[in-house]
Amino acid sequence: AQLAVHQSAWEGPKDALAKDIAACTRCPLHCNATQAVPGEGPMDADLMIVGEQPGDQEDLSGRPFVGPAGQLFDQIAGWAGLARDKAFVTNAVKHFKFTPRGKRRLHQRPNASEIQHCRWWLDAEIAQVKPKLILGMGATAAEGLTGRRDAITARRGTVEQTPSGTPVLLTLHPSYLLRLPDPQAKADATAQFQDDLTAAVRMLA
Ligand code: URA
């Protein structure tokens, strides 16, 4: 019985890293966010999916991609045959950055310094999971993963690398699809996003 107690109290490396992320004060974003949102998923996943930062619902729940962007991602991933539960899902920045507007909290894009500070954790997650492929969604993920800040629209569908040599397939961010007002532009971007997810599935087959 003592052994069982011991085992249940044992913290795997996943819990240890998530706890370290939860305690992070490396940049000022921790001051206003509810909590840090570490990555989640199998620690031996072949695919790592990286977004920008937690949104309102992720900040409250402590889990990545559970809000509208996550729901759109899940829908298009289903069309592309990409199993999210087999991937490790995380963000380039672990705390929600926002400005209060009445009762709402409006998303703000992380700046270069915040992305740079949070690279510490993203690199630690990559080192732990050792994915064969990373899907980087949006400009912030691209910057955190590759160090390059150039626009994502020109880079999507292409494969770059992390400094340690992991391939990074770049794509659009699902929130970008949600924000596009023009129905045709939205349909085109959605098709591109689906193509990129299909490419990720094929690269791992
Ligand atoms: N957008 C992101 O980039 N990540 C999340 O976890 C949710 C929304």
Q: Give residue 54 CA to ligand 1 midpoint distance, Å.
A: 4
Q: Is 64 in the pocket of ligand 1 (CB under 6 A)?
A: yes
Strand segments (E) across 53-165 = 88-91, 98-101, 104-107, 133-137, 159-161
Q: Give residue 92 CA to ligand 1 midpoint distance, Å.
A: 9
pTM above 0.80, yes or no: yes
The set of residues, in sequence order, having a beta carbon less than 8 Å from that of 93 and lying 6+ positions away, is 29, 52, 53, 110, 114, 115, 118, 140, 144
The set of residues, in sequence order, having a beta carbon less than 8 Å from that of 127 and lying 6+ positions away, is 164
Q: Is the pLDDT of residue 9 over 80?
A: no
Which pLDDT score, from 0 to 100, does residue 167 have? 98
Q: Is 55 in the pocket of ligand 1 (CB under 6 A)?
A: yes
The closest-lying atom of ligand 1 relative to the alpha carbon of residue 65 is: 6
Token pair for 122: 């993203």
81 within 8 A of 195, measured Cβ to Cβ: no
Residue-wise pLDDT for 76-115, tens only, equals 999 999 999 999 999 999 999 999 999 999 999 999 999 9
Residue-wise pLDDT for 156-183, tens only, equals 999 999 999 999 999 999 999 999 999 9
- CA-nearest of 37, 30, 50, 200 to 129 is 50
Q: Is the pLDDT of residue 205 over 70?
A: yes
With cut-offs at 50, 70 and 90, classify the pLDDT of residue 1. Answer: very low
Q: Pairing mode, if any, of strands 88-91 and 47-51? A: parallel
Mutation to probe ligand 1, out of 57, 73, 91 (largest number of atoms < 8 A from CB): 91
Q: Is 96 in the pocket of ligand 1 (CB under 6 A)?
A: no
Q: What is the largest CA-CA distance in the chain?
A: 63
Q: Is 70 in the pocket of ligand 1 (CB under 6 A)?
A: yes
Q: What is the DSSP letter of 163?
A: T
